[in-house]
Amino acid sequence: MTAHAATHGMAGGAGGEHAQGAVGVHTQKLGMWVFLVSEVMFFTALIGSYIILRWGTNAEWPEPRTVLAIPITAANTFILICSSVSMVKAYAAAVRDDQPGLKKWLLLTVLGGATFVSVQAFEYHHLVEKGFLPSSGLFGASFYTMTGFHGFHVTCGVLSMIWVTIRAFRGKYAGGRFHGIETIGLYWHFVDLVWIILFTIVYLI
Amino acid sequence: MHWWFPGNASSVGGKVDSLFYVILYITGAVFVLVEATLLVFLVRYRRKSGRTAEHVEGSTRAEIIWTAIPAVILVTLALVSQPLWSKIKDSDTYPRNAVHVGLEAKQFEWHFTYPGPDGKLGDDDDFMKKDTLHLVVDRDYVLEMTARDVVHSLFIPAFRLKQDLVPGMDIRMWIKPTRTGTFEMACSELCGLGHYRMRGVVVVHTPQDYAAWLVSQGAASAADSAAAGLTPSGKGAP
Amino acid sequence: MEATEHKAPNYIAVWAALAVLTVVEVAVVYLHLPRRLMVISLVFLALWKAMLVALYFMHLRFEPKRLLYVVLAPLPLAVILVVGVMHGFRGP
Amino acid sequence: MTAAGTAVPAHTHVDDRPFIRKYVFSTDHKIIGIQFLFLSLFFLLVGGLLAMGIRWQLGFPGQAMPLGGWLPEGVAPGGVVSPKTYIGLVTMHGTFMIFFAVMPLLVGVFANYLIPLKIGAPDMAFPRLNMWSFWLMIPSGLLMTASLFVLGGSSVAGWTVYAPLSNTPDYTGVHLGQQLWCLSIVIFGLSSLLGSVNYITTVINLRAPGMTWFRLPLSVWALFITAVLAILAVPVLAGAVIMLFFDQTIGTHFYLPASGGQPLMWQHLFWFFGHPEVYILILPAMGIVSDIIANGARKPIFGYVSMVWAMIGIAFLGFIVWGHHMFQSGMNPTLASAFMVSTIVIAVPSAIKVFNWLGTLWRGSIHFTTPMLNALAFVSMFIIGGLSGIFMASTPVDMYIHGTYFIVAHIHYVLFGGSLFAIYAGIYFWFPKMFGKQLDERLGKVHFALTFVFYNLTFFPMHILGLGGEMRRIYDPTVYDYLKPMQPINVFITVSAFLLFASQIVMAWNIVRTLARGKKADVNPWHDCGLEWTVPSPPPHGNFETTPTVYHGPYEFSVPGAPADYVPVNQPLPAVPEGRR
């Protein structure tokens, strides 16, 4: 409980180093995990509806691979995974207080995320031109809803990541103040994780 | 003055009512006991000079007792309700020889399709009636229900029956009237601005009356079917 | 620091595993396996990948058990929701 | 995403923040709680006004409403409520009361105000997110209010907005109103999410030394569990509502049978949120009432540990009972049976709580203060609401009473008789702490007595209407011959409802008068043990001079050997004769 004395002065969640409360988890990190728990339920509603509509009822369903381009999306999946790796490398650099490393890996992460979003936008454009729209049956509806909200999450992630990168260049994460990196990293990996599920369930199965 | 259940007129109504009264007596007794205890405590343990509260933090034994008793009563209730429920709603248990009648609900209208003299649904002698369901007393019926636009709910208070009709779903409900007469039916799921006037009637005949009615329908049915069939509803208008 | 107590996992190895699993997934699709086998293997592969990300990138392997419970809490609910609703459609 | 706020100085005496940071865009949990209080009381008033419109039409169908002539011709031709207006009133009454009155009153006000004070924290874990949680409620409330005035009118699909009625404008003529409803609810969900993340993190991580889990006041436990329910349930609603919104705007067919969509899926998703929501609306009330009853009876709460486990049990079971709202929906009857069992089981922890409250009163020394009276009303009304729920849990009986006024009576016994009485109790109890002034006890008791009487006269007869077979949400019951004889009951309810509404003026007057020139409140007017009563009223920014240390549980009243009949949690218990503790 001595930890509390430390938390007391910085209830702002500003990432003090000793701000671990009763469960021994930094407040900021705990807050992010709680947020991610609710994100799980949000995506459950969307992905669950897809599962229910496709397998729980007798709706007609096209073979996804006849509509969607798997190779390019597989490549895109790989890009997102790479950006997760660069994120975790950035975190490791921050823990070591390796500032050049932190900046390098953060920039790569931003790049990976932005590439992913761009490829997705390109894919949308292509699909719409082919006449595959949200109004094209249940598959179109759920495809655009799920991947759209995932893309929205990635976009939010890229924007915050840019902000974090700017802060990193200003030295805000120097001297062991790495909790901000860890927290945004959790969000980033979560978005990656959701994509892993989405890629399998929407594109492959 | 009728301020209680409408008189029962179906095979399941009596059982539903009995179950209701069982629950009413149990909950009524619990209600009186608990509220009386509350009142007694409030009077007896009100603040008085010279008496202080007793520092009691709980009693495991008391708590086990008042957890176990409601649990037993409640689970019993569930077990008692279950068979009746399956009998009413599980279409696998419906009588084989039941007469099937079609029902399609659309905004503020009930459209019944009768099997005609041969007793079979889905052939040429079927005929339609709007907002009126004619049945023979003591005969088993299965309504084959669907909705054309939004969710409706068929509610026949005197039969104690209620079942939603969902667009895109084929739902069946068993009906067996036990008393002749005319009974009102209503929609009990908000279905639009005219929800309140989605009224219909069930006319329960003796077999003789029904036969006579059926004959009288011979000429009228064709015109009625046409009228009931595909008239566009006054969309949105109450 | 709680985060530095454990030895940093070999992130590159995890990355390689993820890449290989992705390739395997795509391969499974084009192998023309029986439908059921394909679905089962794809779900298995996806869960494997998701676990790798959660355990190593999100450090769940190195967190206190209590945090793990917090994180796992919604999963049964998600399953209940989907299974319950799917069951609900096999109607009367 | 990185919620980095500036550090809040904990030990401020001189608070030199500018006015706008102090009272408008404040990050102080106490100010945010008070902001929520006034916002949600406003919406409570709006919801109440809409209810008056509903009652007029049901009591006197087809007659011109008093002042109805002032309404536009399209809304109330000749002063008579039109069917469309009527269903709009029903829909928006439910929506406002649930999302914008009762839920923010319980969670926004009490969770914000009480959690940090009661656990000994200087503020929430993320004060800035907390501020956003309030300021997102404003656009959300504005959008919902705006939907009343847009072309085509507000949503008319009931607060449950069942598809396809809601997502197909052709069926009702409502376009924009329903879309605004959806947007408002999504923003509301975000606000609720930010609040809940804060409450959970704060309770887990910012407890004062000595404030162990099983020393938390039951109100904090309840608010914590509520926040857990909210983060798990509200996102599902958000997802479902987004799909509904897409159905209306970009031509998807999630809930339309036309291309294989499922209307029933909306009901499942909605109630998967909706039932935990019921507990979101009642658990905090239970927590507040537990605190106040222990205080009023001057006794420790009876069976503290089982009270906590009962709440956890309710929360868990709350996620597997959603189907009981759908027994007659065409859902698989076998699944319905499973839901019946889980629903019936959930009554057990509720019963435990009621018995434990009675046990708390047993051998107490009951002070009939205004908060205590309201808390006792909660208990007795919750008993009725709980018992009437058992009728619906039994599937065959539910077949008759589903969708009738019996349900309306039940929900109001739980939400008004339950939650709202607890909210009143909480407002009377913590008002001195919030504003430093004591509400007038005599006016408070008058308000309580009038509300209690007219509340019962309004809602109890609805059980009878329901058993007589009167459907809910119908514009004019006199269309049906079998309902005509019951019309006098409707008239009676309407008159009672007007009086009930008028009785609330007493409370409004009490609040206004007290704020203007009320008696200054003591630091601890109710002689309570909680940490919030150890700091000045109202507490300073940062709450505590020094971090408090907690020595025992929250309900140490009438401890033998103690100098007073309560021992504040930051003081050790007196040395006790062996055999205790």
| Residue listed under structure tokens 């019309």 | D487
* DSSP-based helix, strand, coil % in chain B, nearest 5: 40, 25, 35
B202 contacts in chain D (CB < 8 Å): none
ipTM beyond cut 0.85 = yes
| Confidence at residue D189, expressed as pLDDT on a 0 to 100 scale | 96
User: To the nearest 10°, the Cα dihedral for B19, B24, B26, B31?
Assistant: 160
Beta bridge partners of D366: B46
Residue D21 touches chain B, beta carbons under 8 Å:
no
| H or E element that contains B102 | strand B99-106
Residue B232 C-beta-side C-alpha neighbours within 13 Å = 6
D245 contacts in chain A (CB < 8 Å): none
Domain layout of chain D by residue ranges: 24-534
Residue D380 has pLDDT above 70, yes or no: yes
pTM above 0.90, yes or no: yes
Q: Which chains touch A (3 or more CB pairs under 8 A)?
A: C, D
C85 and D268 in contact by Cβ < 8 A? Answer: yes
Residue B229 C-beta-side C-alpha neighbours within 13 Å = 8
C25 and A84 in contact by Cβ < 8 A? Answer: no
Residue D340 has pLDDT above 80, yes or no: yes
Q: Do D347 and D393 meet the contact criterion of CB atoms below 8 Å apart?
A: yes
Both tokens assigned to A36:
């991610």
By CA distance, what is D265's nearest residue in C? C85
| H or E element that contains B109 | strand B109-114
CA atoms B105, B111, B114, B115: torsion sign = negative
Percent of chain C with pLDDT over 90: 39
Residue D6 has pLDDT above 60, yes or no: no
Nearest CB to A196 within list C23, C50, C77 = C50
CA atoms C3, C4, C6, C12: torsion sign = positive
Strands B141-147, B99-106: pairing kind? parallel
Pick from D182, D173, D93, D94: nearest CA to D143 = D182
- For residues D352 and D222, what is the distance between their CA atoms, to the nearest angstrom? 15
- For residues D406 and B27, what is the distance between their CA atoms, to the nearest angstrom? 15
Q: Do A200 and C21 meet the contact criterion of CB atoms below 8 Å apart?
A: no
Q: Among the listed ranges D289-298, D469-478, D571-580, which one has the minimum average pLDDT value? A: D571-580
A24 and C2 in contact by Cβ < 8 A? Answer: yes
- For residues A50 and A70, what is the distance between their CA atoms, to the nearest angstrom? 19
Domain layout of chain B by residue ranges: 13-46+59-91, 96-229
pLDDT tens-digit map of D472-514: 999 999 999 999 999 999 999 999 999 999 999 999 999 999 9
B189 contacts in chain D (CB < 8 Å): 162, 403
CATH tag, D24-534: 1.20.210.10
C91 and B90 in contact by Cβ < 8 A? Answer: no
Q: pLDDT in tens for each of the 205 residues of chain A?
A: 333 333 333 333 333 333 445 557 889 999 999 999 999 999 999 999 999 998 877 778 888 888 898 889 999 999 999 999 999 999 999 999 999 999 999 999 999 999 999 999 999 999 999 999 998 889 999 999 999 999 999 999 999 999 999 999 999 998 888 999 999 999 999 999 999 999 999 999 8
Residue D580 has pLDDT above 70, yes or no: no
Strands D519-520, D437-438: pairing kind? antiparallel
Non-local CB neighbours of D207 within 8 Å, separated by 6+ positions: A4, A21, A22, D119, D120, D121, D216
* Residues with pLDDT less than 70, chain B: 1, 218-238
Residue C88 touches chain B, beta carbons under 8 Å:
no
- Reduced 3-state DSSP string for D442-480: HHHHHHHHHHHHHHHHHHHHHHHHHHCCCECCCCCHHHC
A–C interface: beta-carbon pairs under 8 A: 126
Pick from A43, A201, A34, C70: nearest CA to D198 = A34
pLDDT tens-digit map of D191-241: 999 999 999 999 999 999 999 999 999 999 999 999 999 999 999 999 999
Report the CATH architecture of B96-229: Sandwich (2.60)
pLDDT tens-digit map of D96-154: 999 999 999 999 999 999 999 999 999 999 999 999 999 999 999 999 999 999 988 89
- For residues B156 and D470, what is the distance between their CA atoms, to the nearest angstrom? 11
Over the range A144-163, which residues count as b (16 or more CB within 10 Å of their CB) and which as e?
A: bbbbbbbbebbbebbebbee
Residue D464 touches chain C, beta carbons under 8 Å:
no
- Domains of chain A (ranges plus CATH)? 26-204 (1.20.120.80)
- For residues D293 and D359, what is the distance between their CA atoms, to the nearest angstrom? 11
The CA-atom distances, in angstroms, between A143 and each of A158, C46, D241 are 22, 18, 17
C14 contacts in chain A (CB < 8 Å): 85
